[in-house]
Amino acid sequence: MGLVLAFVGLVALAAVVAAFVARSRAKPRATAPRAPRDPFAADGETGGDPRTLKAGDMVEYLGERLFVRGSLRLTEGGFSWSEHFVDPMNVDDGGADAESGHRWISVEEDPDLEVMLWSEYRGEAELLPNQKTLTVDGITYHRSEHGTANYRSEGTTGLGATGRVEYADFDGPGGRGLAFERFLGAQGRGRWEVSLGERVPRGTLTIYPGSGPEGHPGGGA
């Protein structure tokens, strides 16, 4: 009799276990919520965070590699942004690219992150930011900002360690930009430096950090 009861008990236990396994397989597993992520994280579609760019870094954009020679950290009131002066990797130490002139990358959050690649304007016509609209090479730009900012220089910029700069920004269609800057110093207001820019789409810029210590002025330059 005892053996019969034991056998019945084992059968019942096996049935319970089988039912539990079947229920576990049938029940869908809860998926863990996706953790928030930085769209400019190193493992994302864009290699590196443009907000961390500094002198000594290298960037690759549309197949071209550019070396960050120096940076300006600018502030106006409670707003801040950065400008990074770049040269192609195949250009000698003599200076800017002979074809495109000086180039630089601007990085700002206003409030969304915006990255622009700028090239020196080398046209024959003299441009001044004294109009609300300007037309350059058939493209019309509208003035969006005008002000004066303080800057701190890092690496090779051709400027002093600190100073002030007057700027005027014009917006064009398709993410284009027209920028004016003149640096203020003991010699007066200086001359306007003019650049044409294009917005850098997400996923097209790759950053290779330099070996210089992060945050050190001129690190790796």
Q: Over the stretch 122-177, which tens digit does the pLDDT of each residue have? A: 998 899 999 999 999 999 999 999 999 999 999 999 999 999 999 999 999 999 99
Q: Is the pLDDT of residue 66 over 90?
A: yes
Q: Which of 26-40, 45-59, 92-106, 176-190 has the lowest mean pLDDT?
A: 26-40
Q: Is the pLDDT of residue 48 over 80?
A: yes
Backbone dihedral angles phi then psi of residue 10, each to the nearest 5 degrees: -65, -40
**What's the whole-number mean pLDDT along residues 23-29?**
51
**Bridge-based pairing state of the strands 193-199 and 205-208:** unpaired
| pLDDT value at residue 147 | 97
- By CB atoms closer than 10 A (0-12, 13-18, 19+), residue 202 is middle
Q: Where are the domains of the chain?
A: 50-208
Asked if residue 148 lies in contact with residue 74, where contact means CB atoms within 8 angstroms, the answer is: no
Confidence bin at 189 (pLDDT 50/70/90): confident
Which range, 17-21, 120-124, 192-196, 215-219, is most confident? 192-196
Structural Rg of the chain based on CA atoms: 29
Rounded distance between C-alpha atoms, residue 194 and residue 169, angstroms: 10
Q: How many CB atoms lie within 10 A of CB 36?
A: 5
Confidence bin at 7 (pLDDT 50/70/90): very low
Backbone dihedral angles phi then psi of residue 119, each to the nearest 5 degrees: -130, 145
pLDDT in tens, 70-83: 999 999 999 999 99
| pLDDT value at residue 185 | 78
Mean pLDDT, the chain, integer:
80
| pLDDT value at residue 108 | 96
Alpha helices per DSSP H over the chain: 2-26
